[in-house]
Amino acid sequence: MAVQNSLANRQTKTGLTAYLTQDAVKKQINSVVGGKNGTRFISSIVSAVQTTPALQECTNPSILSAALLGEALNLSPSPQLGQFYMVPFDNKKKGVKEAQFQLGYKGYVQLAERSGYYKKLNVLAIKEGELVRYDPLNEEIEVDLIEDDVLREETPAMGYYAMFEYENGFRKTLYWSKKKMLAHAEKYSQAFKRNGGAKSLELLEQGKIPEKEMWKYSSFWFKDFDGMAMKTMLRQLISKWGIMSIDLQTAVDKDMAVIHEDGSAEYVENEQEEENVVAEQELHEVSEESGQNEARNSGNTGEAAQPVQEADGQMSMEDAFFSQPS
Distance (Å, whole) CA 22 – CA 27 = 9
pTM (two decimals): 0.70
Q: How confident is the model at residue 269 (pLDDT cuts 50, 70, 90)?
A: low
What is the rounded distance in angstroms from the CA atom of residue 135 to the CA atom of residue 294?
A: 12
Q: Residue 184 pLDDT more than 50? A: yes
Residue 145 has pLDDT above 80, yes or no: yes
**Banded pLDDT at 252 (limits 50, 70, 90):** confident
Residue 7's pLDDT band (cuts 50, 70, 90)? very low
Confidence category of residue 144, pLDDT binned at 50, 70, 90? very high
User: pLDDT tens digit string along 288-307?
Assistant: 444 444 443 444 433 333 33
Count of other CB atoms within 10 angstroms of residue 195: 21
> What is the rounded distance in angstroms from the CA atom of residue 228 to the CA atom of residue 307?
20
How many angstroms separate the CA atoms of 52 and 191, rounded?
A: 20
Examine the pLDDT at 69 and tell me if it is beyond 60: yes
pLDDT of 232 strictly over 50: yes
Would you give the distance in Å from CA 281 to the centre of its chain? 23
Q: How confident is the model at residue 16 (pLDDT cuts 50, 70, 90)?
A: confident
In this predicted model, what pLDDT tens digit does every residue of 192-224 receive, in sequence order? 998 999 999 999 998 999 988 888 887 889 989
Q: For the segment 87-136, what is each residue's pLDDT rounded down to a tens digit?
A: 888 888 888 889 989 899 999 999 999 999 999 999 999 999 999 999 99
pLDDT confidence tier of residue 66, bands split at 50, 70 and 90:
very high
pLDDT of 10 strictly over 90 = no
Average pLDDT score over the chain: 78
- pLDDT at position 268: 62
Does residue 1 have a pLDDT over 80?
no
Q: How confident is the model at residue 281 (pLDDT cuts 50, 70, 90)?
A: very low
How far CA 171 is from CA of 117, 233, 263, in Å, comes to 12, 15, 36
pLDDT at 125: 97
Q: What are the φ/ψ torsions at residue 186 (nearest 5 degrees)?
A: -70, -30
Tell me how many degrees the CA angle 70-228-273 measures, rounded to the nearest 5.
90
Which alpha helices (H) appear in 176-316, and where do they start and end? Answer: 178-188, 190-194, 197-205, 220-223, 225-241, 246-253, 286-298
| Predicted confidence (pLDDT) at residue 286 exceeds the cutoff of 50 | no
- 73 pairs with which residues across the strands? none
Residue 274: pLDDT band (50, 70, 90) is: very low
Predicted confidence at residue 266, as pLDDT, reads: 76
pLDDT band for position 147 (50/70/90)?
A: very high
Q: How many angstroms separate the first and last alpha carbons of the chain?
A: 6
DSSP string, 226-239: HHHHHHHHHHHHHH
pLDDT attached to residue 277: 33
Contact yes or no for 166/238 (Cβ under 8 A): no
Residue 71 has pLDDT above 60, yes or no: yes
Closest CA to 106 of 189, 226, 222: 226
* Cα 88 to Cα 152: distance, rounded to the nearest angstrom: 32
